[in-house]
Structure 1
C-alpha cells in the first residue's frame, strides 16, 4: 500500500502557532514518539513556551494542575497508553476539581492501514478504545489527523475553559514528520 503519511499529520509549527493563539505558557509531558517533531520544535526557546518533562503521565497532569493554580496556561502531551495510566489523576484533578486541561494524546500503535479511517476500526485495542473511553468519561475530543485540523486546537482550548474540565486532541499520526520510502527525499522535506 502506498500512502502519503504527511496527509495524515499536522505540522509542529502549526501546533505551536495554535498554542500561542491559546496563550499556552507551559507544556508538561512524558515524551511521546508520535509527537517527537513537536517536542523538538518546543526546544526552541523563541517559541515562548516552556517544557516540563515528567517521568509519569500522572505527574504531567499534577504538574499541569499546579501550573494552572499558579495562573499559567498549560497543555499536556502524552500518548494513549500513558493517558490510560493517568486516568485517576485526570478524574481527580480535571473532572472532580474542574481544572481545565488541554491534552494532546498520540495514538501509539495505530497501523498505517488505519490512517484515513476511524480509529475505532483499528486492529489494536489501545487505539480502538481511546474515543469510547473519552465518551464514557464525558471528555470532549477532536482529532488532529491532517492539514487543517490545527484549527481544532483553539476550539478544544476554548471548550476546556467553558466546561472547566479536560479536553483531548487525538494525534492519529506523527505530528510534523512526513515519512518517505526514498531516503533522498527525506532531506528535501526540511
Structure 2
C-alpha cells in the first residue's frame, strides 16, 4: 500500500517570514534594527515568483537578481565572507547549471551556502523519483552525490526546515538546500 504525499502550494508570505526567521538567527548584536536582515540572491524563477514579488518591496530583505547561478554563488560567497546573511533562491535548472561552482565555492572553499530550489514541473502528491521531469527526478540524487544536506518543502508544516538548513550551512561551513515542491502561492 502506498501513501500519497501531502504536497501543497505554500503561500509566499509564509515563506518570506520563514526566510526572515533564518536571517534573524544570524543577526549580530549591535546591528541597527533598521538595517535589512539579509540578502536573497536569485536568478528569475517562475516556480517561486510569488515569493520574489513580495521580496521586491520588502524593506527587511535586500533582493539582488543575478544573470546566472554561477554569478549568484560568487556574490553570495563574497557577502557571506563579509559577514552578511545571504541565501540563494533558484530553480532546479540553475542547480544543474552551477554544480561546478557549488563544488568549488561552497564545498571546497567551505563557504556557507544555502539554496532554496524550486522544482518546476513537480506533480502534486508524487514522489520526486517518479516524476516525468528528469530535472525534478534527479535533483535529490545530484545533491546526494555531492553530499549536500537537503530537505523538502512540501507543505506549510515544513517551513521550519528553511531556518534549520540555513543554520546547518553556517555550522558546517558548506552547502545545504531546501527543495520547494510545488509552485509557491499568493
- 1:145-160 matches, within 5 Å, as 145-160=154-169
Structure 2 unaligned segments of length 5 or more: list them.
Answer: 1-5, 24-36
Residue 9 of structure 2: aligned partner? 9
- From 44, 47, 66, the equivalent of 1:34 is 47
Q: How many angstroms does 1:7 deviate by?
A: 5.4
TM-score normalised to structure 2 length:
0.86
TM-score normalised to structure 1 length:
0.84
- 1:1-190 matches, within 5 Å, as 8-23=8-23, 24-46=37-59, 48-110=60-122, 114-177=123-186
Structure 1 unaligned segments of length 5 or more: list them.
Answer: 1-5, 178-190
Question: In proportion to residue count, which structure has more helix?
Answer: 1
Q: Find runs of 4+ consecutive structure 1 residues off by over 2 angstroms.
A: none
| 8 Å Cα contact 1:10/1:149 also seen in 2 | no
| RMSD of aligned residue pairs (Cα, Å) | 1.5
Partners in 1 of 2:88 and 2:78 — Cα distance? 13
